[in-house]
């Protein structure tokens, strides 16, 4: 009982342990913030990566692709582990984006990763629709934002003009003029809003088809293309990291130069050109993907890359051999059924792959990979970074232990005579040790809980804090123009936070251990004579 | 006639200290007995080993040779916290420097001795009773209006009274006072000695260490320590 009383009194009367508690608070806070932000960043990347590639991918790791993919899909979809499957072609090409249609000014040309997809089945496997950037809502939002900005500007001009106006008559005239302008603006916004409501941007992205008016304008049926938001050279993000729809490449002309490769891996001599109309843009959250990938219809890409089903010709006689060459894709993506992990699905799909390989001798070796394996290079790097930063901050947190140890050593020195008194009136060595260990525990609990509280408040308000810092000091710690996520991760993982708090408390007790042992080992007579 | 067993008895106590490479033989074979209800003064000059002898009798320090018996039980053979328990339950110390805990008020300083002997679970069941005793002791030593004062707010005499109350909280068999008036003025010293006399009259066994012949005279028996030996 006396230990509790003394710990309580020491906590209330001494300033030194409060500094030790502050060190524990700072270290706890620091580690929780770092782990929350870095962990959140890693989770954002992971979920984006998973959304992009489904749970499992079967690929030949060759641009020439592999045949019999439909058999693979049909068989795999019978498995309880598989919820959906979709064929895709992953290829590369040169993209020329041109504003104002085919006859527009010289466009921008860059290399891109071309993904041929069947949007409907692709959307069942990956979160394709959710990545599409522009829809009616975003157009209307932008329109309203623009309209509000214009109204504010009108109001400002009106105030300035009124301040300069001399006579009341002139003021009245100015007011009437601006009221009319405002009315015009509202009418225009209303009209544009009605027009935009009929504009099916999401549908176009989902079908990979432009509007009929666009094809009429082009004078031919054009397939649609969805480009990564960073593929579009005209975009630049605002200070909040947002893209402006006015810079979107929708309806722009896109010409792809592709290099067809036959089933044997031979590259055909001449590139194949294909013309598309951009129907939407996508943002997956992975910068590399968003800056390089474009989506086009699978059938169009198969045709351009000579990957459609065809009849085989004898290269010498140029006569049909009577054998068919099956259509090819470069990969098939699978989504796991609820309750199954990617690993379980991969194991089940691998069996089907083996069966297809046995039935179709000569097809390329196929590899089955989970989404984590597919993105191991990226996720592994970030995970290593998270681990390293956490380790570094954990080392810094040793400061807390040293701080507690130093503080408690000073306290033990200061309290030497009191320790002698306690021993004289019957306290055991174990009891003395427990006073200082309990004291360390109390300091640890106070420090760690305060650290948790502050870390929680900081992490959950990190974006608001950043906003405040930006407004007052013009400084952003996480510039959304530099990083690809608009918001700083702001979730505290309760399990990790609990472990950190436990670790901080344990550190504090460890810090108090040596001083506690020294206190326990004090000779009571020497302690009583201590000056 | 049956001789009553002494409460405290020492047998051939020797104590050496090493100081600056020299061996100081402080106690050279002390044999003494203290009986129940007895008031014994140990008188000697400064540095004669009085305090060392008191510390050995109270189990605070260990002798190099010899034994101390409490009610026939050899004190330094007590193991497993029993020596701590001996100091807590059977002996009460009063020091020259008072040695109160500065963070605690007078009442808490008195209570702490009782708390040490009780666990967290046992304490609440006895708390009320013990608190009453602590208040009664403080009233006895004349500090009923100073219970909530911390040591820094008390005078030397008042501090010593709190220390005496603390020493008495567990109703010790022997109260050991080491120069209890050494830091006090004559009047205050007188009142403290009167308090000891009153305690003795109430049946408390007392051992008082002093270098003041006048104070030593108030005891039933005075043992003089010269060059590490009792005379």
pLDDT reading at A480 higher than 70: no
Contact state of B87 with A4 under an 8 Å Cβ cutoff: no
Q: Which of A1, A421, A425 sits opposite B118 (nearest CB)?
A: A1
Enter the pTM of the model.
0.67
Nearest CA-CA partner of A253 in A282, A215, A290, A289: A215
**Tokens 């843009």 — which residue?**
A281
Contact state of A525 with B55 under an 8 Å Cβ cutoff: yes
pLDDT reading at A408 higher than 50: yes
What is the least distance, in Å, from the CA of A510 to any CA of chain B?
A: 24
Q: Which of A10, A425, A426 sits opposite B103 (nearest CB)?
A: A10
Contact state of B103 with A431 under an 8 Å Cβ cutoff: no
Q: Is A44 exposed, middle or buried (0-12, 13-18, 19+ CB in 10 A)?
A: middle
Q: Is A118 exposed, middle or buried (0-12, 13-18, 19+ CB in 10 A)?
A: middle
What is the least distance, in Å, from the CA of A431 to any CA of chain B?
A: 9
pLDDT reading at A379 higher than 50: yes
pLDDT reading at A185 higher than 70: yes
Contact state of A425 with B81 under an 8 Å Cβ cutoff: no
DSSP A36-53: HHHHHHHHHHHHHHHHHH
Contact state of A6 with B123 under an 8 Å Cβ cutoff: no
Mean pLDDT, range B113-118, rounded to an integer: 82
Structure tokens at B81: 């916290």
Residues of A in Cβ contact (< 8 Å) with B134: none
Contact state of B88 with A417 under an 8 Å Cβ cutoff: no
Tell me the range of A68-77, A125-134, A217-226 where mean pLDDT is highest.
A68-77
Contact state of B55 with A431 under an 8 Å Cβ cutoff: no
Task: Give percent above pLDDT 90 in chain A.
Answer: 15
Q: A80-115: per-residue pLDDT in tens?
A: 999 999 999 999 999 988 876 556 666 788 899 999
Q: A137-146: per-residue pLDDT in tens?
A: 666 777 777 7
What single DSSP character describes residue B86?
I
Contact state of A418 with B101 under an 8 Å Cβ cutoff: yes
Contact state of A6 with B95 under an 8 Å Cβ cutoff: no
- Other beta carbons within 10 angstroms of residue B55's beta carbon come to 23
Contact state of B84 with A424 under an 8 Å Cβ cutoff: no
Helix (H) or strand (E) holding A188: helix A168-197
pLDDT reading at B109 higher than 60: yes
Contact state of B61 with A524 under an 8 Å Cβ cutoff: yes
What ipTM does the predicted assembly reach?
A: 0.85
Task: Give percent above pLDDT 70 in chain B.
Answer: 98
Q: Strand, helix or coil at A277?
A: strand
**Lowest mean per-residue pLDDT among A66-70, A188-192, B33-37:** A188-192
Q: What is the pLDDT of residue B125?
A: 82
Q: A312-367: per-residue pLDDT in tens?
A: 777 677 777 777 778 889 999 999 999 998 899 999 999 999 988 888 877 888 89
> Is the model more confident about B20 or about A253?
A253
pLDDT reading at A436 higher than 50: yes
Residues of A in Cβ contact (< 8 Å) with B102: 418
Distance between CA A292 and CA A69 in Å, rounded?
26
**Among A5, A415, A426, the residue to mutate for chain B (most B Cβ within 10 A):** A426
A439 and A408 Cβ atoms separated by less than 8 Å? yes
What is the least distance, in Å, from the CA of B76 to any CA of chain A?
A: 15
Residues 6+ away with beta carbon under 8 Å from B24: B16, B17, B18
Q: Is B3 exposed, middle or buried (0-12, 13-18, 19+ CB in 10 A)?
A: exposed
Q: How far is CA A415 from the centre of its chain?
A: 54
pLDDT reading at A448 higher than 80: yes
Residues of B in Cβ contact (< 8 Å) with A423: 60, 84, 87
> Is the model more confident about A456 or about A488?
A456
**Lowest mean per-residue pLDDT among A263-267, A446-450, B149-153:** A263-267
Residues of B in Cβ contact (< 8 Å) with A425: 87-88, 93, 112-113, 116, 166-167
**Among A1, A17, A420, A528, the residue to mutate for chain B (most B Cβ within 10 A):** A1
DSSP A473-513: H---SS-TTTSSSSS------HHHHHHHHHHHHHHHHHHHH
Residues of A in Cβ contact (< 8 Å) with B88: 425-427
Q: What is the pLDDT of residue A445?
A: 92
**Lowest mean per-residue pLDDT among A91-95, A393-397, A480-484:** A480-484
Contact state of B166 with A425 under an 8 Å Cβ cutoff: yes
Cβ pairs A/B, distance under 8 A:
73
Q: What is the pLDDT of residue A455?
A: 92
Contact state of A9 with B103 under an 8 Å Cβ cutoff: yes
Nearest CA-CA partner of B57 in B96, B18, B90, B28: B90
Q: Which of B58, B101, B115 sits opposite A421 (nearest CB)?
A: B101
What is the least distance, in Å, from the CA of B219 to any CA of chain A?
A: 24
Structure tokens at B154: 């008390």
Q: Which of A10, A418, A424 sits opposite B60 (nearest CB)?
A: A424
Q: What is the pLDDT of residue B1?
A: 43
Region of residue A49 (left: phi > 0; alpha: psi -120 to 50; beta: else): alpha
Q: What is the pLDDT of residue B51?
A: 86
Residues of A in Cβ contact (< 8 Å) with B93: 424-425
Phi, psi for residue A489 in degrees, rounded to 5: -55, 130
What is the least distance, in Å, from the CA of B163 to any CA of chain A?
A: 11
Phi, psi for residue A132 in degrees, rounded to 5: -65, 130
**Tokens 């008195």 — which residue?**
B110
Q: Which of B89, B100, B115 sits opposite A1 (nearest CB)?
A: B115
pLDDT mean across residues, chain A: 83
Contact state of A2 with B112 under an 8 Å Cβ cutoff: yes
Distance between CA B50 and CA B209 in Å, rounded?
6
The answer to whether A430 faces chain B, any CB pair under 8 Å, is yes
């Amino acid at each position: 009982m006396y230990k509790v009383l003394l710990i309580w009194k020491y906590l209330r009367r001494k300033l030194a342990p409060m500094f030790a508690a502050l060190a524990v608070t700072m270290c706890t806070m620091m580690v929780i913030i770092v782990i929350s932000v870095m962990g959140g960043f890693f989770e954002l990347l992971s979920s984006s990566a998973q959304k992009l590639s489904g749970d499992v991918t079967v690929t030949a790791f060759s641009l020439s692709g592999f045949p019999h993919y439909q058999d693979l899909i049909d068989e795999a979809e019978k498995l309880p582990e598989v919820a959906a499957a979709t064929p895709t072609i992953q290829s590369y090409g040169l993209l020329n984006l041109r504003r104002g249609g085919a006859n527009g000014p010289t466009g921008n040309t860059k290399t891109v990763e071309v993904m041929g997809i069947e949007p409907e089945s692709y959307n069942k496997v990956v979160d394709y629709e959710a990545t599409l950037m522009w829809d009616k809502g975003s157009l209307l939002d932008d329109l309203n934002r623009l309209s509000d900005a214009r109204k504010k500007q009108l109001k400002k001009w009106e105030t300035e003009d009124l301040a300069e106006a001399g006579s009341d008559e002139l003021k009245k005239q100015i007011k009437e003029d601006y009221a009319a302008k405002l009315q015009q603006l509202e009418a225009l916004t209303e009209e544009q809003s009605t027009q935009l409501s009929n504009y099916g941007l999401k549908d176009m992205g989902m079908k990979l088809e432009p509007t009929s008016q666009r094809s009429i304008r082009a004078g031919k049926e054009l397939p649609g293309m969805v480009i990564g938001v960073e593929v579009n050279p005209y975009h630049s993000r605002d200070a909040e990291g947002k893209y402006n729809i006015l810079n979107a490449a929708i309806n722009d002309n896109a010409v792809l130069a592709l290099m067809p490769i036959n089933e044997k891996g031979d590259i055909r001599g001449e590139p194949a050109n294909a013309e598309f109309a951009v129907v939407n843009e996508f943002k997956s959250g992975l910068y590399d993907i968003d800056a390089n990938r474009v989506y086009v219809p699978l059938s169009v890409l198969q045709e351009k890359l000579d990957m459609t089903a065809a009849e085989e010709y004898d290269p010498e006689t140029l006569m049909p051999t009577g054998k068919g060459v099956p259509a090819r894709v470069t990969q098939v993506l699978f989504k796991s059924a609820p309750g199954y992990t990617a690993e379980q699905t991969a194991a089940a799909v691998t069996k089907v792959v083996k069966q297809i390989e046995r039935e179709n001798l000569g097809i390329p070796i196929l590899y089955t990979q989970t989404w984590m394996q597919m993105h191991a290079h990226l996720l592994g790097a970030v995970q290593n970074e998270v681990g390293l930063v956490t380790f570094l901050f954990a080392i810094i947190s040793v400061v807390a232990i040293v701080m507690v140890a130093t503080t408690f050593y000073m306290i033990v020195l200061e309290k030497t005579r009191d320790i002698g008194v306690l021993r004289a009136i019957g306290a055991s060595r174990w009891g003395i040790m427990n006073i200082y260990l309990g004291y360390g525990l109390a300091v640890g609990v106070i420090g760690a809980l305060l650290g948790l509280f502050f870390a929680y408040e900081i992490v959950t308000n990190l974006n608001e804090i950043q906003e405040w810092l930006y407004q007052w000091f013009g400084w952003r710690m996480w510039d959304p123009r530099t990083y690809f996520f608009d918001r700083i991760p702001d979730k505290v993982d309760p399990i990790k936070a609990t472990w950190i708090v436990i670790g901080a408390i344990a550190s504090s007790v460890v810090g108090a251990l040596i001083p506690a042992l020294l206190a326990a080992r004090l000779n009571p007579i020497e302690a009583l004579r201590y000056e | 006639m049956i001789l009553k067993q002494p409460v405290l008895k020492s047998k051939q106590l020797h104590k050496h200290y090493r100081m600056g490479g020299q061996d100081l033989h402080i106690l050279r074979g002390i044999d003494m007995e203290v009986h129940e209800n007895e008031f014994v003064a140990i008188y000697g000059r400064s540095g004669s080993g009085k305090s060392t002898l008191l510390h050995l009798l109270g189990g605070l320090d260990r002798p190099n040779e010899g034994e101390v018996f409490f009610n026939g039980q050899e004190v330094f053979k007590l193991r497993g916290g029993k020596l701590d328990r001996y100091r807590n339950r059977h002996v009460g110390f009063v020091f020259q420097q008072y040695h109160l805990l500065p963070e605690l008020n007078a009442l808490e300083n008195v209570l702490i001795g009782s708390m040490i002997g009780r666990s967290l679970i046992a304490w609440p069941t006895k708390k009320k009773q013990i608190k009453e005793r602590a208040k009664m002791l403080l009233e006895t030593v004349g500090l009923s209006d100073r219970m909530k004062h911390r040591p820094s707010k008390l005078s030397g005499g008042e501090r010593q009274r709190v220390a005496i109350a603390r020493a008495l909280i567990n109703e010790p068999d022997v109260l050991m006072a080491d120069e209890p008036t050494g830091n006090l003025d004559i009047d205050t010293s007188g009142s403290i000695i009167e308090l000891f006399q009153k305690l003795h009259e109430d049946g408390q066994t007392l051992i008082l260490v002093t270098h003041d012949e006048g104070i030593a005279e108030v005891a039933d028996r005075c043992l003089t320590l010269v060059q590490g030996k009792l005379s």
